[in-house]
Amino acid sequence: MLRTTLLLAASCLAAMASPASASTIFTQDFSAGLGSKESVSSNVTGSWGVHSGYLGHSATYSPNERSLYVADLGLQNYSDVSFSFDLTEYTERSYDYVTWFTGHYDAAGTLVFNTFGQIVQGYGLGTGSYAFSLAALERDQLFGFRFTSDHAIQYAGVQIDNLRINGTATGAPVDGPVVPAVPEPATWAMMILGFAMVGAMARRRSGFADRVTA
């Protein structure tokens, strides 16, 4: 019995020691609009938003446009974060472009951009599928896209679709459900091991007492 229990405890500990594997954090094909953790905004009243299964422009973009898509995903609780998406882009080369970013909100509630990744821009040049890996996110919990244009020529803009973000969990979700105080698997394994050792010692003492009194 002791050997079986010890093997079980060792198995639990080994399972906990195994490295965590990456999983899907978030997917969005924009077919059902935005979720509760997503938002879009723009400094102009234009065509930026979610339209018929994609994020971006439904018509020509506006002069001096600054538009955002932000998803608050608690990315600071993940490591080895990577993401992919599809892009259709028709913009003026070098002046009008889309970037992806990570960021966080400061104490005043202002969005602070951190990691930036500018995509090849130009009339049709940015079109295709993209995949990126992010470095350490530090406190950044946000992922998003930013579109910027100048005051001159405007084209059809950008369309973004099939966003997928993967990562390895390293902490609890930011606003996940409250978890009751239940021991973690590693704690259970140590408890099982402790109970087994106490039981074995009790049996030995009982046997010793029987021999003394016999």
Domain ranges of the chain: 2-15+183-213, 21-169
- For 17, the token pair is 């020691």
- For 118, the token pair is 């500018």
The CATH number of domain 21-169, selected from 3.10.20.30, 1.10.3720.10, 2.60.120.200, 3.30.1300.10: 2.60.120.200
pLDDT of residue 138: 67
Of 3-7, 18-22, 27-31, 114-118, highest mean pLDDT: 27-31
pLDDT tens digits, 44-83: 998 999 999 999 999 999 999 999 999 999 998 998 888 9
The residue with tokens 């609009």 is 33
pLDDT of residue 173: 52
Average pLDDT of the chain, as a whole number: 76
Beta-sheet strands, E only, within the chain: 23-28, 38-42, 48-51, 54-57, 66-72, 78-90, 97-105, 111-118, 128-133, 142-148, 157-169
Pairing of strands 157-169, 54-57: antiparallel
- The pLDDT of 9-34, averaged and rounded, is 73
Higher model confidence: residue 89 or residue 203?
89
pLDDT of residue 13: 46
Contact between 50 and 32 (Cβ < 8 Å): no
- The pLDDT of 180-192, averaged and rounded, is 37
pLDDT tens digits, 117-131: 777 777 888 888 888
pTM equals 0.69
